[in-house]
Structure 1
Amino acid sequence: MKRFDFKEILEITCRLYVFFFLTVYGIGKVIGGQFYTAARIPDEIAQMPIGLVPDFELAWVFMGRSYGYILFIALAEIIGAFLLLFNKTKLVGTLILIPIMVNVIVFDIFFLDEYGALAGATLYLLMLLIIVVINKEKMSDILIELVSTEVQLKTSSKEKTLKYSIVLVIIVLIFIGDQLIVNFLGYGKG
């Protein structure tokens, strides 16, 4: 009989819990259960001068203004949560969901006046971090691979100067092209 593995039980619990709730939140966004879309702004908010709209309602209207944005966040939550279900993709799902949860937490801190949603988002983030800690060896290997550099032959200062001069010219050309595009398309109202 296999020995009881507390870490495995804890990880699976965290993965399934976060999967369930972030899938529900993601689907809620897709079907219109979160944020005030143009058709769902409460009358008292819609008729209020913008400077008097409470932070939460203003944020909820802003977030609901673009269905494309809502769909992007919803799909990221759903895909990230779905990836938690499988051992081979659990860390990818975790790495997708951590920045989303950090953003939700920051949003909740600055815009919400009730903190139940903040507590829930914090719990989900803590569970994702538990998954990372339980898989610290794999995460460490990934980070080492990402930042490792192969030993290169020594290059002369002349070669380095030439290489970085070319890089500088390319950066200037990209900047000029970028500014031409921005000026052609316009800056917007901001």
Structure 2
Amino acid sequence: MQFPAFSALAELGARWYVFFFLNVYGWGKIFGGQFFRRGHLPAEVAATPLGEASAFELGWTFMGYSPAYIAFIGVSQLIGAWCLLWPRTKLLGVAILLPILVNIIAFDLVYLDAPGALLAACLYLSLLLYVLYYNRATVRRALLALTNQEGNKALQPPFRRWQSVAVVLIMIGILFCLDQGLVSLVGR
């Protein structure tokens, strides 16, 4: 039996590490371990006038306002984390978790004054980027397959270019009118 290369073990270790911590964070969100939830604000936060609240208090309270949003974030983290465990779904897990982690990093930069949370999120993002790098040949093939326009010639309209542009612009106009009509009907 041949021992796997270090890079293969490093990729596996990166996936398991991110799985473990994002699993903890995902379940923490679902079971109330993160964010100041509506009806469960700490007394000092509830007593703080809005204009005097810190960025952290505002951000943490805003994120905790909607149970549905918290559940969405938590479940998304769990799905992405669990996908990391298997070779066939690991890149799907990375694709799910990359935008989540970029959002967490942006949130931490703007609202949190705790560098530990930011550094942890940056570490998880770096580990996922390593997984992408390790699987770069597969990622490259997938991107080429997704962006290959040669296979889409049958889908191209039989019009001249200007006619195609005109049809698309008319479709955009119709969609815009429908969109604005619905917004006016139900209100903002």
TM-score bracket for this pair, using the shorter chain length: over 0.9
TM-score normalised by length of structure 1: 0.93
What is the aligned partner in structure 2 of residue 104 from structure 1?
104
CA distance in 2, matches of 1:107, 1:150: 40
Aligned ranges for residues 35-184 of structure 1 at < 5 Å? 35-150=35-150, 152=153, 159-184=160-185
Determine whether 1:17 maps to 2:17: yes
What is the CA-CA distance between 1:48 and the residue it aligns to? Answer: 1.2
Distance apart, 1:146 and its partner CA: 1.3
CA RMSD of aligned residues (A): 1.8
1:166 and 1:126 map into 2 onto residues whose CA distance is 44
Aligned in 2, Cα 1:158/1:131: closer, same or farther, shift over 3 Å?
closer
Distance 1:165-1:24 versus aligned 2 partners, 3 A rule? same
SS of residue paired to 1:138: helix
Report SS of the residue matched to 1:40: coil
In structure 2, the gaps of 5 or more residues are none
Aligned length: 186
Secondary structure at the counterpart of residue 150 of structure 2: coil
Deviates more, 1:37-46 or 1:173-182: 37-46
Alpha-carbon distance in structure 2 between the residues aligned to 1:4 and 1:142: 25
2:165 aligned partner, one-letter code: Y
Identity percentage of aligned residues:
42
Q: Deviations over 1:94-149 (max 9, x none)?
A: 11101111110111111111111111111100100000000000001111111111
State the shift of 1:4 in Å: 3.9
| Structure 1: gaps spanning 5 or more residues | none
Structure 2 residue identity aligned to 1:76: S
Alpha-carbon offset, residue 42 of structure 1: 1.0
The residue matched to 1:39 in structure 2 has which SS? Answer: coil
Q: Could you tell me how far apart the structure 1 residues matched to 2:60 and 2:117 are?
A: 13
* Aligned AA (1:18): V
What is the alpha-carbon distance in structure 2 between the residues aligned to residue 17 and residue 98 of structure 1? Answer: 15
State the alpha-carbon separation in 1 of the partners of residues 180 and 146 from structure 2: 32
Tell me which amino acid in the other structure corresponds to 2:25: Y
Q: Which amino acid aligns with 2:164?
A: K
